[in-house]
Amino acid sequence: MIRDGEIIQTKKKHYKIANTLPTIKGRVTGHPDGYGFIVTSEVPDKLFCPAREMHKVMHGDDVLVKIVSQSRSGRSEVIIDKVLKHNTHSVVGKLYTEGQITFVRSLNKKQPDVMVMNPPKKAVSDYVCIEITHQPTIKSPAMGKISEVINPAKKIDILLAIKSHQLPHEWNREQRKYTKKYHKRISKKECEIEINKGRKDICHLPFFTIDGKDAKDFDDAVYCKELDNGGWKLIVSIADVSHYIHPDDPLDKEAQRRGNSIYFPGHVIPMLPEELSNGICSLNPHVSRFSLSCEMEINVHGEVEKFSFYPSIIKSAARFTYKQVNILFKNKSHKNWKDYSEKTQHSLLSLFDLYKAQKKSRIKRGAIDVETANLEFSISAKGKIKKIRRHKLKVSHRIIEECMLMANVCAARFLEQHDKAFLYRVHDQPKLQKVQALRELLDDLDINFDRSEIPSPNAFAQVLHYAKKTTYKNIVQTAVLRSFKKAKYSLDNIGHFGLNYPSYTHFTSPIRRYPDVIVHRAIKEVISYQEQIDMQTRRAQLSHLAEHLSYTERRADEATREVTERLKCEYASHHIGDVFEGTVSNVTSFGLFIDLDKIYTEGLLHISSLGSDYFIYDEIHHCLRGEKSGKHYEIGTRLNVCLTRVSIEDSRIYLDLVKRAKD
């Protein structure tokens, strides 16, 4: 009866009748070690799926599951009751043969091996694409036939990721045909028609954009003006994508399917065709563009007192890069100021003053501020890394980020005020076990941390602020980040823990995120007095979209991380035998992960390379400690290491210890 699924045996040797348990709908997320999780909107936390159940499914499948047990830590374990939809129809990976069996090991480590039904008689290229003909069951693994042999080519790492994660990346004939109807410029007649419909012409205001030097799609432009009361007027105008793509048209369906743009090193898979993303929707300088504007009045303390939304026409007066704004922010008399009109100068200077007030408001609110360093890749024509640079986020990033945060909060408040169903961007509080683990580390470092069961965001912010002044800043920052859950989209509001906002949504990037398009449509329904479709139908649609768009975001993150790691490994392979200084970024029972200086890649220093001493893993204090010598290695320890080997297939760099950096 257990074998046939009629009854269920729990870990405590109790039995339950299977058909009496409630079912939950969710999506499978695999793990390289064989087990998995079920992500669902019906419960707040991921559900644990043991390896024996994962034999029935592939990563990404939609399933019905039943909760059969719960651990003391609160983790729920499930069995798979039914596979609703198989979403993996092909796998890309490396071909292996063991005895009489040939199989493909997927590049996506969350997928299981797939048995090959038409093994080649002769050796083929390392990588193949296999079309799945038989989905896995409890009795047999997934099986398929080789459909394509992938030969080395330019940007093969991106090609492999596209195929491995089944990323939509091409436009079909209907979509291309639909795109051709859009012009490169907005005509005067179009502007007049829209103004007669109520669109506000604010082309006379000196808006400007602030983006990276390589940016081609400009979602947002800002204008700032000081008010007589000492406060500011800030207008954040966002590309009016919803003016061009409408529900259920070919481009809308494809944008929804993609969910978001994906940014690889040196390559982009856009959510919208370039004619829209880089063209008619993009707020390029010196051309008229349709936008949706959020106009805010902000007091001297950096707090929004009034706001409104309206469709608009703007003409960006200047296109700034982050570097240019940093220079101008530091030096108000810099010679570059003369390159811009007096109106633009006043707008930018007003924004600088507003930012200083916003910064104080953010600290007062207790938002968690993590100082991350971004990597910048110089990419060759063949899609390989030539050089890696690391740079911290500058004040220009912070300035534009604060403007976008305020507009996003206003969008959420506006839709709540008008009882509209929409997608929140939510970030749940961390789990108790994660908080306890963080507290143990902080206690060991003599850092005071709120003793509440789940501390407030302000408590985390205080810890990070204190750690900035210490030598173990990176240790604390890494530990805090690991204690957090991931943000996601949800129909139901649980607030945003990290930003410390009671309500938050995504409004400012509709060119590259579909959730923002949904929010734009909801705002337009309010300001144009459109009748909303039946609330129950709308909520059902949004609930499905919340799960789908959270999934496409995770998929994009995984694919980007996979490509980046492979490229970094290929780059590191040219440095075998070189000695680097580095910092321990993570400690495990099997060794140390080292963040290498100069090449900014992470390598593994296996425990066997630490010498003849027996090293014990101290999970509480996150360190390896020598039983005889007393030597210990923890996050933040500086070491000299030699890069000895690189496995591009496993995305792993191997190191040997030379000595402690201070020895």
What digits encode the pLDDT tens for the residues 359-371?
Answer: 888 888 888 887 7
Measured over all CA atoms, what is the biggest interatomic distance in the chain, rounded to whole angstroms? 83
- How far is Cα 24 from Cα 79, in angstroms, rounded to an integer? 10
> Length of the chain, please?
663
Of 121-125, 377-381, 391-395, 435-439, the range with the lowest mean pLDDT is: 121-125
* pLDDT at position 308: 97
Q: What is the DSSP string of 220-260?
A: EEEEEEE-TTS-EEEEEEEE-GGGT--TTSHHHHHHHHH-B
Angle (CA) 606-608-610 rounded to 5° is: 85
Is residue 56 predicted with pLDDT exceeding 50?
Answer: yes
pLDDT at site 659: 76
pLDDT at 460 over 80: yes
Domain 7-85, CATH:
2.40.50.140
Q: What is the per-residue pLDDT for 84?
A: 94
261 pLDDT higher than 80: yes
108-122, 164-178, 433-447, range with greatest mean pLDDT: 164-178
> Are 625 and 616 within 8 A, CB to CB?
yes
Which pLDDT belongs to residue 73?
64
Q: What share of the chain is helix, strand, coil (3-state, %, to 5)?
A: 30, 30, 40
Q: Is the pLDDT of residue 634 over 70?
A: yes
CA 349, CA 329: separation in Å to the nearest integer? 8
Tokens (6 digits) for 470: 């210490």
Dist. CA 657–CA 580, nearest whole Å: 10
Please say whether the structural domain 90-151 has been given the CATH code 2.60.40.
no
Per DSSP, the three-state class of 654 is strand
Please state the domain extents for the chain. Answer: 7-85, 90-151, 173-425+497-564, 429-484, 576-660
- Is the model's pLDDT at 663 over the cut of 50? no
State the Cα–Cα distance between residues 113 and 128, nearest whole angstrom.
13
Q: For residues 571 and 585, is the Cβ–Cβ distance under 8 A?
A: no
Quote the DSSP letter at residue 476: H
Answer whether 105's CB lies under 8 Å from 93's CB.
yes
Contact in structure between 352 and 447 (CB atoms under 8 Å): no
* 395, 397, 403, 407: CA torsion to nearest 10: -150
User: What percentage of the chain has pLDDT greater than the value 70?
Assistant: 96
What's the mean pLDDT when you consider all of the chain?
Answer: 90
- φ, ψ of residue 571 to 5 degrees: the values are -65, -45
pLDDT for 523: 97
Class of the domain covering 576-660: mainly beta
C-alpha 310: how far from chain center: 29
- 328 versus 661: the higher-pLDDT residue is 328
Residue 455 CA to residue 442 CA, distance in Å, equals 13
Instruction: Provide the token pair at 320.
Output: 């700034």
Residue among 301, 267, 271 nearest 379 (CA): 267
Give the bridge partners for 80, in sequence order. Answer: 65
| Res. 614: pLDDT tops 80 | yes
Q: Using 50, 70 and 90 to split pLDDT, how confident is the model at 449?
A: very high
Assign 275 a pLDDT band (cuts: 50, 70, 90).
very high
- Among the ranges given (10-19, 201-210, 319-328), the one the predictor scored with the smallest mean pLDDT: 10-19
What residue type is 265 in one-letter code? P
Whether residue 9 is predicted with pLDDT greater than 80 in this model: the reply is no
In three-state secondary structure terms, 32 is coil
The 8 Å CB, 24+ separation contacts for 561-565 are: 562/107, 562/108, 562/161, 562/164, 562/165, 562/651, 563/157, 563/158, 563/161, 563/264, 563/265, 564/264, 564/265, 565/651
Residue 5 clears pLDDT 80, i.e. is over it:
no
504-561 pLDDT per residue, tens: 999 999 999 999 999 999 999 999 877 667 788 888 999 999 999 999 999 999 999 9
Confidence band of 99 (pLDDT split at 50, 70, 90): confident
Token pair in block for residue 305: 């007192």
The pLDDT value recorded for residue 152 is: 72
Lookup: tokens for 15:
């039995």
DSSP 8-state code for residue 406:
H
The distance of Cα 451 from the centroid of its chain, to the nearest Å, equals: 31
Tens digit of each residue's pLDDT (9 = 90 or more) over 461-487? 999 988 888 877 877 888 898 899 999
- CA gap 246, 182 in Å, rounded: 14
Stretch among 6-15, 214-223, 452-461 having the lowest mean pLDDT: 6-15
DSSP state of 513: B
Domains 7-85 and 576-660 share a fold: yes
What order of strands is seen across the sheet that includes strand 200-201?
Answer: 200-201, 304-315, 288-298, 232-239, 220-226, 208-211, 318-321
